A and B are shown apart, each in its own frame.
Chain A
Amino acid sequence: MPIAQYALRKLLAGIPLVIGVTLVSFALMVYFGPDRTYELLGKNPTEEQIAEVRSQLGYDRPFAERYAGFLREVVTFDFGYAATGEPVATLLARTVPVSLLLILPGFVLGHLVSLGLALLAAYWRGRVADRLIMALATVGMSVSFVIVMIGFQIVFGSSDWLGWFPVRGWSTDSVGEYLRYIAVPTLATMFVAIGYDTRFYRALVAEEMTRDHVRTARAYGIPEARIFTRNILKNCLIPVITRVMFSIPSVAVGGSLLIESYFGIPGVGRATYEAIITGDQPVLKAVVTLTAILFVLVVILNDILYRVVDPRVSLE
């Protein structure tokens, strides 16, 4: 099976990347990261107390030794205990699914709606509908994500306005509850995603429209709407896939961090944020490693999807 073979080869090639990422981020953590010593000791600690805590935390050992320890944790996938005393594995098992459930709907819908709007805008190029869609996109792109979130919280959450959805907290007790809690974060994500992605996708579609094969389709009487939704769309998929796939790591980390802290949702983004603030290195190390691995997987999946949509691509 060439695809499995290819994936395996790429996985092996991803090992240096993971090592590089862990090395750089570990160095940053050690030399520039927050030091938990003072947090644990409070005011006016003695020299001995400081030395003792530093030795407990392992801060006194040489960098190479500490990094080797980190690599051992990576290989065994055992990152020890978070500052709260909870095992890191448990913490991740608790928070990662929450983040996925929170992020995925907005992520998928954002790209789908953007692509749809881009096709419509290109189909009606130069007309009022095109201008309206592109104006909406410009607004979505120009307003900061933070402002959008606060604005949407007020509009959808405040009882003075619509008051339809909760804007703090999290529940997955039932599908209805889940949908109520993700409504506003999802709308905010989509609003911003539509801003950036619609412009990009419309440019792709507009470029594809000038291709010879589109003229051929037209010359053979294929209806215009079908040319857009089939001939042009499939040809645009490679750059679309690239954009979607490569935005996964940044959305998974950066996006969930912002949303979870503004909506008080107990996901991995907020856990990471708190770990950064408090210098909780075991959690940070786990998150950094997982992100690097996620990136490697995304690259592999990306190449395999290329092969699926474009027969000219070979996995060599």
Chain B
Amino acid sequence: MAAAPPVLRVRNLTVEFATDAGIVRAVDDVSFDVAGDETVALVGESGCGKTVTGLSLLRLVPEPPGRYAGGSIELAGRDLLALPGEALPAIRGRDVAMIFQEPMTALNPVFTIGTQMADVLRQHRGLSRSKARAEAAAMLAAVNIPDPDRRLDDYPHQLSGGMRQRVMIAMALSCRPRLLVADEPTTALDVTTQAQVLAEFRRLQQEFRTAVILVTHDLGVVAETCTRAIVMYCGSIVESGPTAELFRHPRHPYTRGLLESVPRVRAERLPELPVIPGRVPDPGRLPAGCRFADRCSRVQSRCRDARPPLQPVGAGVPVSVACFNPW
């Protein structure tokens, strides 16, 4: 599986935001690779830094208030963080594309679908107006939108949420990017549409052979679509590994808590849904030791003194975990 060379190599990525309460680290020393044929999930609660990490892959974090405080993001051998700002438009949409959470607002309400898709195609592939339109129609057909030629002249408000998200996917894949970042692409859709869009997504990913990073809090989506998952907590990676292994044997207490708190169909109704006790610490006042210590059932005294590094668990299992006392 890991035979393909990595398309994306993130090393020690650190992103800070200037807020009224001082500098806040939204992403703290995050490193991971994504190979050309992988679908990798970035999982965690809201505020864990997964979306900021996703945006960083296109260098889309607004600067200011954001700031890339360190690390590198190598996409196809080029470090995005070292490039001058003027070089970014040529990469965005062509080498790396992004799908956003809200299909309602992510498309421009006053331009037709066709215009918006053609804009991207003309920008990156230098197509003529008519060629770009034909290509846009072909892309809509590829994402199974019926009657694509007519849909091109529709405005976003004339389409349903699922359709809009398909349009976003079509637009994202239209320039054959090496990497696709999808930020909660199905969260705003209802459940049946969600399943359709996910199925579409998976099929297209194989067809276009694009590496995908799926930013989500939905473990169901992760289980269905991702080969590998990276669990984030308070801006850092706490555990990463193949999805199947992670779900079967979660090693970090946070991963385990996250899995247990997923509502699911059970034979017996539990008196209460299990939740992780306590709260996410204030990002402005993080503890010196493990950031999960206060909520952890397996906490030891050393957890409060030092932060556990992310380390491979060994024994031939391709899982890394940042815990002194893993399961």
User: Contacting chain A: which of B14-22, B118-126, B228-236, B294-302?
Assistant: B118-126
Give Cα distance in the complex from A235 to B157, angstroms. 14
Complex contact A221–B94 (CB within 8 A): yes
Complex contact B92–A218 (CB within 8 A): yes
* Binary flags per residue of A200-230, CB closer than 8 Å to B gives 1, else 0: 0000000000011101111111111000000
Distance in angstroms from B159 CB to nearest chain A CB is 12
Any A CB within 8 A of the CB of B4: no
* Binary flags per residue of B52-95, CB closer than 8 Å to A gives 1, else 0: 00000010100000000000000000000000000011111110
* Binary flags per residue of A303-316, CB closer than 8 Å to B gives 1, else 0: 00000011110000
Any A CB within 8 A of the CB of B109: yes
User: Contacting chain A: which of B98-106, B198-206, B211-219?
Assistant: B98-106
- Taking CB atoms and an 8 Å cut-off, the chain A residues in 7-61 that contact chain B are none
For chain A, give the interface size range: 20 to 34
Complex contact A221–B120 (CB within 8 A): yes
Main secondary structure of the interface of A (DSSP, over half): helix
Q: A211-B105, A219-B60, A220-B97 are in contact. Are A235 and B110 (CB under 8 A)?
A: yes
Give Cα distance in the complex from A223 to B171, angstroms. 17
- What residue of chain A has the Cβ atom nearest to residue B157's Cβ? A312
Any B CB within 8 A of the CB of A131: no
User: B108 contacts which chain A residues (CB < 8 A)?
Assistant: 213, 216-217, 231, 235
Give Cα distance in the complex from A234 to B115, angstroms. 13
- Taking CB atoms and an 8 Å cut-off, the chain A residues in 265-286 that contact chain B are none
Give Cα distance in the complex from A235 to B94, angstroms. 25
**Residue in B105, B110, B111, B120 whose beta carbon sits within 8 Å of that of A220 in the complex:** B120
User: A221 contacts which chain B residues (CB < 8 A)?
Assistant: 88-94, 120, 123-124
Give Cα distance in the complex from A309 to B110, angstroms. 7
User: A220 contacts which chain B residues (CB < 8 A)?
Assistant: 92-93, 97, 119-120, 123, 171
**Residue in A213, A219, A231, A309 whose beta carbon sits within 8 Å of that of B105 in the complex:** A213
Complex contact B102–A212 (CB within 8 A): yes
Q: Residue among A212, A223, A235 with the most chain B CB within 10 A?
A: A212
Complex contact A222–B60 (CB within 8 A): no
Give Cα distance in the complex from A310 to B109, angstroms. 8
User: B106 contacts which chain A residues (CB < 8 A)?
Assistant: 212-213, 215-216
User: B89 contacts which chain A residues (CB < 8 A)?
Assistant: 221-224
Q: A211-B105, A311-B155, A312-B155 are in contact. Are A219 and B93 (CB under 8 A)?
A: yes
* Binary flags per residue of B108-145, CB closer than 8 Å to A gives 1, else 0: 11111000000110011000000000000000000000
Any A CB within 8 A of the CB of B107: yes
* Binary flags per residue of B152-170, CB closer than 8 Å to A gives 1, else 0: 0001010000000000000
User: A213 contacts which chain B residues (CB < 8 A)?
Assistant: 105-109
Q: A212-B100, A212-B102, A311-B157 are in contact. Are A219 and B110 (CB under 8 A)?
A: no
Q: A223-B89, A311-B155, A312-B157 are in contact. Are A215 and B124 (CB under 8 A)?
A: no
User: B102 contacts which chain A residues (CB < 8 A)?
Assistant: 212
Q: A221-B91, A222-B119 are in contact. Are A215 and B60 (CB under 8 A)?
A: yes
Q: Residue among A212, A220, A234, A309 with the most chain B CB within 10 A?
A: A220
* Binary flags per residue of A123-146, CB closer than 8 Å to B gives 1, else 0: 000000000000000000000000
Distance in angstroms from B161 CB to nearest chain A CB is 14
Distance in angstroms from B18 CB to nearest chain A CB is 13
Distance in angstroms from A192 CB to nearest chain B CB is 31
Complex contact B105–A234 (CB within 8 A): no
**Residue in B91, B92, B100, B109 whose beta carbon sits within 8 Å of that of A235 in the complex:** B109
Q: A311-B155, A311-B157 are in contact. Are A219 and B98 (CB under 8 A)?
A: yes
Complex contact B120–A234 (CB within 8 A): no
- What residue of chain B has the Cβ atom nearest to residue A238's Cβ? B110
Distance in angstroms from B156 CB to nearest chain A CB is 9
* Binary flags per residue of B27-68, CB closer than 8 Å to A gives 1, else 0: 000000000000000000000000000000010100000000
The list of the 6 closest CB pairs from A to B, nearest first, reads A220-B93, A221-B93, A212-B105, A221-B92, A213-B108, A221-B89
15 A-B pairs with CB atoms under 8 Å apart are A215-B100, A216-B98, A217-B108, A218-B92, A219-B58, A219-B92, A219-B97, A220-B92, A221-B94, A222-B123, A223-B89, A235-B110, A311-B110, A311-B112, A311-B155
Q: A219-B98, A219-B100 are in contact. List 16 more A-B contacts (CB 8 A).
A: A212-B102, A213-B106, A216-B100, A217-B108, A218-B60, A219-B92, A221-B91, A221-B93, A221-B124, A235-B109, A235-B110, A311-B110, A311-B155, A311-B157, A312-B109, A312-B157
Chain B: residues with CB nearer than 8 A to chain A? 58, 60, 88-94, 97-98, 100, 102, 105-112, 119-120, 123-124, 155, 157, 171
